Structures are given as structure tokens and as C-alpha cells.
Amino acid sequence: MTAAQGQTPQPVLIAGRWRPATLRGTFQAENPATGESLPQVFPISTWDDCDAVLDAAGDAARQLLELPGERLGDYLNCVAQRIEHCADELVACAHAETGLPATPRLRDIELPRTTNQLRQAAWAAAEGSWRLATIDTQADMRSWYAPIGPVAVFGPNNFPFAFGSSSGGDFAAALAAGNPVIAKANSSHPGTTQLLAAQAQEAAEETDMPRGIIQLLYRLEHADGQRLVADPRLGATAYTGSRAAGLALKAAADRAGKPIYLELSSVNPVVVLPGVLAARWTEIADEFTASCLLGTGQFCTNPGLVLLVRGSASDRFVAAVAARFDATPPGVLLSRGVQTSLQQSVECLCGAGAERVTRAAVPEGSGYRCPNTLLRVDGARFLADPARFQTEAFGNAALVVVAADLDELCQILKQLEGNLTGCVYSDPAGADDDAYARVARLLRPQVGRLLNDKMPTGVAVSPAMNHGGPYPATGHPGFTAVGIPAALRRFAVLECYDHVHPRRLPRGLSDANPHGSMWRLIDGRWTQDDVPSRG
């Protein structure tokens, strides 16, 4: 008999009420640090649950259209406050389900980032400039961005708070734009997602939000997930996860004409130019090791591909990184699936011709771990099979490509797929200026965020941040999953009002500025003023 037998599965959240799921099956999360199943049992829902959440979300969406942005701001601020009040319980649960360190990672870094995102979204919802209200008085025409309708959020495994489906950036952006959220938990941390959804639901009751503003399902069969993202009652979907699963959802959504925003895979190339490498190879080896092994490499911006030009400094750099990798105890991976996928990716790279330059010793300790792995290949071999050598090794592994010269390095850059980030290390004294110009010109179109002399792991919650990029990093290069207010406009439609009587216009498009601080484009000029009198 297993620990799960005889246990009642955890309830789903539908239309403001925790209730039993319509069961297709059950599952349990695992503690990746030990490999043991955790005690709670969670339901795999049938389509009946999806049908119910879609109906309830539609009702909530219609009610939200009547609420001013200030009310949504109050709600999001309340969610942030409630998360802070139950920090101890959240951190303990997330630590057990993900193996991520309780401190500083979860308590001191990720949880404050999560509440900061929610408060930034609250401000954007109340202030309203994100809508890009545009008024042409001569044509008597007005437009702005308005809520798209219910948004399904599929959260990833690696950020249970900051990207979680019931707490993270997509959740905050969708709500700030005026849409209810259907949260689909990641199977690696369902308990954490449940606790966060409970805070969001209690905040909804406290601030008198519509029933169904936040709903939660834990797991679906693939066919039901694809049916969900294509349903006519859904406005849009946000997904962060594997390329294969994301593309299957995208195909279903595209067939139905439904917007879906994907964050998929990225190797985040780091180019280290000869001048700076000769001068600073030791410091760069330290920076790269710290960035690559942070969180056991389980960041979407983890630097997984390093490009060098052949020379003695390159050899010293590779040897130094290999020594640092071997000297660092391997961390815990998020799940058995992540461990298996990482092993398969390393095998694929080695099968293509990459050479392992670190030890392949079995890591000490229980749970899901892989040895810290550094691989090396020459530029000519990379160019013979560039797609295979760009296999994402999600975890504590990286590939170094050593080009014969700068010309070959530039040929390699032309073969790169789209990435979230790209970085160029260059000599600040100017020795690499010409090389930088050539490299950056090729790298810039292939990445969402270009860095100079800085590793890419950190993702600042800044209005200027682009956490996006060309395919396959994301499904659309024109949008960001981090950065407010831009992230909100993924979950909006452009509404136009042509010769509509003033008393029938939305408040933000009326002649009077709703609260004096909203920026609007009036007759070609951005202003916080009211529309000039027609008299």
C-alpha cells in the first residue's frame, strides 16, 4: 500500500469555493532533495473542472469590466500583504517541494521579488497609463487597451513564487490588466501553488472582488490542456516550460486563433573576446562559474553556451572553469524529470562531438543531482551541426565553443537560435572595440536582452526589462514576461471608439483625465491634461 492510498485529494478552487475535483487520477509531489513522495495527494482534473472554471471566469471577466483600476490595485496590494503574512508556511512548503534553499533564495530573494511585482502591477492598474489611451479630437476617435478576458497561466517548476501561476508575474500582469486568472499549477510544487491561491482568494473576499477572479487546477491530461487554451471562453494563455509541451499548446491555441505567450528554452550565449580574456580570465572564470551554477543552473537565463577565440588565454579559462566546477558540490535539481532531461541533453552534446572537461563522478548525497558538467567543442565541429550543439542543458552544465578566429566566431553567431539573453565581455580599455562592434551586430537580433561585461542570470523587475526574445526563447519576440507596464499589454485588446457620445465613453477616454496622473496621447501629444474644450 502506498502513502497516497485512501487519502482524499486536495480540493480545486472554482468560482470562489474550494471543492472536490472531478477526478481523472491523482498525483503527489516529491521532495527532490530526498526523492521521497510528499504526503499530500492532488487531483488530476477531468474536462468538467475546466468547463466550470471557464464559465466562472467568464462571469468574473464581465464583472471586472465595471470596476475601476483602483479597485484592482487594492486587490493586488492585498494579495502581496497576505503573502508576506504567511511567509513562513510558504517558504517551508516551497523548500520541501523544490529543494531550493529556504534562505536566502526563497525567503530573502524570491518572495520579496514576488510581492514587489504585485505592488508594481497594483500601481499600474490604478494609474492606467499602460492602456496607451489615444484621442484624436479632429476625427472624434479614441482608442485604448482593454482587458482581453480570462487568462490561463501555466507556471514553471523553477520559480514557485515569482513565476507561480497563482502569484507570479503573469498572474499579476493579467489581473492588473483587468482579467481573471485560471491558474494551472506546476506538478512539481502543487502545495505551494495551493497556499498562494488561498491567499489570492482570501484577498478577493476581503476586497470584494468577483467570484472566480482566481481559480486553481493542479493537473490536466495533455488533451484537456490543449482544449483549454483553445476554448472560445478564454482570452489568452501564458506558459513557461519545456519547448515540446509549449509548442503543443501553441498549436492548439493557434488553430483557434487564441493568443498564447510562451517562454520556452534558451542557451544564453556569452562571448568572451580575446582582449578582456587575456587581461581578466580569472575574474571571468569566477563570474561565469557563479552564474552557471547558481540555483544548480535552473534559471531560464543560465549561461549555457560560451564562445571563445582559440589561444592560451582561452585554454587557461576553460581549465580554470573546469577546476571550479569540480570543486563545487552539485546542488539539488528540481525533480526527477529535470535530472533525466539534463542527463539526456549532456549525452546529446557528447554524442555530437563535445568533450567533457570536468569529472563525471556520481554526486554525493540523496535526491536528484547531476555532476557539474563543462563540455568543450571546436568551432568547426559546432558549425557542422549547430542545431544539435544548441540543445538546452537545463541545469548545472554548459558548453564552451572555441573558434579558430574571430571570423569563425562570427559564423557561429550567424547560426544561433533566438535566446532570452546574449552577453559580450570586452576590454574596457578599448582593445576589443572593433571585435565588439562585429559581434554585437550579429548577436543583437538573436536575443531579447543584450548584456556587456555582465552575466545574464539576474532578471530585474524593471519597466525597461525585456524578458523575452526571438523563437525558440519565446513564442513571440514583441512581448516581455517581466517588466511593468509592458507585460500587461499581452493580456489586452485594442478597443476603438468612433464618434461615441461622451457620456458613453469609458472613464479613461472621456475628456476629463480620470485622476490627473494618467498619461494619454491627445492630438499627437502625451499629456496628463484634460482634453481641450471644443468651444
Using CA atoms, how far residue 494 sits from 130, 134, 143, 248, 379, in Å, is 12, 11, 7, 27, 47
Model confidence at 427, pLDDT cuts 50, 70, 90, reads very high
| pLDDT at 1 > cutoff 60 | no
Model confidence at 98, pLDDT cuts 50, 70, 90, reads very high
| pLDDT at 2 > cutoff 60 | no
Distance between CA atoms of residues 346 and 394, nearest Å = 10
Mean pLDDT over 341-356 rounds to 97
Mean pLDDT over 398-417 rounds to 98
3-state secondary structure at position 114: helix
| pLDDT at 499 > cutoff 60 | yes
| pLDDT at 535 > cutoff 60 | no
Model confidence at 6, pLDDT cuts 50, 70, 90, reads confident
List the one residue out of 206, 160, 165 whose CA is nearest residue 182: 165
| pLDDT at 364 > cutoff 90 | no
Active site residues: 263, 300
For 392, other C-beta atoms within 10 Å of its C-beta total: 23
Mean pLDDT over 129-141 rounds to 97
| pLDDT at 458 > cutoff 90 | no
Cell of 128: 492606467
Cell of 192: 505551494
List the one residue out of 99, 69, 31, 171 whose CA is nearest residue 508: 69
* 258-267 exposure pattern, b = at least 16 Cβ within 10 A, e = fewer: bbbbbbbbbb
- Judged on CB neighbours under 10 Å (0-12, 13-18, 19+), 323 is middle
pLDDT digits (tens, 9 = 90+) for 186-214: 999 999 999 999 999 999 999 999 999 99
Question: What per-residue confidence (pLDDT) applies to 178?
Answer: 98
Mean pLDDT over 350-361 rounds to 94
Question: What per-residue confidence (pLDDT) applies to 361?
Answer: 82
3-state secondary structure at position 456: coil
Question: What per-residue confidence (pLDDT) applies to 299?
Answer: 94
In the sheet with 23-27, reading across from the earlier edge strand, the strands are 23-27, 42-45, 219-220
Question: What per-residue confidence (pLDDT) applies to 365?
Answer: 76
Distance between CA atoms of residues 273 and 152, nearest Å = 43
Cell of 5: 492510498
pLDDT digits (tens, 9 = 90+) for 69-97: 999 999 999 999 999 999 999 999 999 99
pLDDT digits (tens, 9 = 90+) for 270-291: 999 999 999 999 999 999 999 9
Question: What per-residue confidence (pLDDT) applies to 470?
Answer: 97
3-state secondary structure at position 176: helix
pLDDT digits (tens, 9 = 90+) for 261-272: 999 999 999 999
| pLDDT at 3 > cutoff 60 | no
Beta carbons of 494 and 259 less than 8 angstroms apart: no
Q: Percentage of the chain surpassing pLDDT 70?
A: 99
pLDDT digits (tens, 9 = 90+) for 278-330: 999 999 999 999 999 999 999 999 999 999 999 999 999 999 999 999 999 99
For 156, other C-beta atoms within 10 Å of its C-beta total: 22
pTM, two decimal places: 0.95
The pLDDT mean for the chain works out to 96
Question: What per-residue confidence (pLDDT) applies to 193?
Answer: 98
Model confidence at 4, pLDDT cuts 50, 70, 90, reads low
Q: Go through the domains of the chain in sequence order and give each one's CATH number.
A: 38-263 (3.40.605.10), 269-452 (3.40.309.10)
Residues pairing with 452 in the sheet: 424
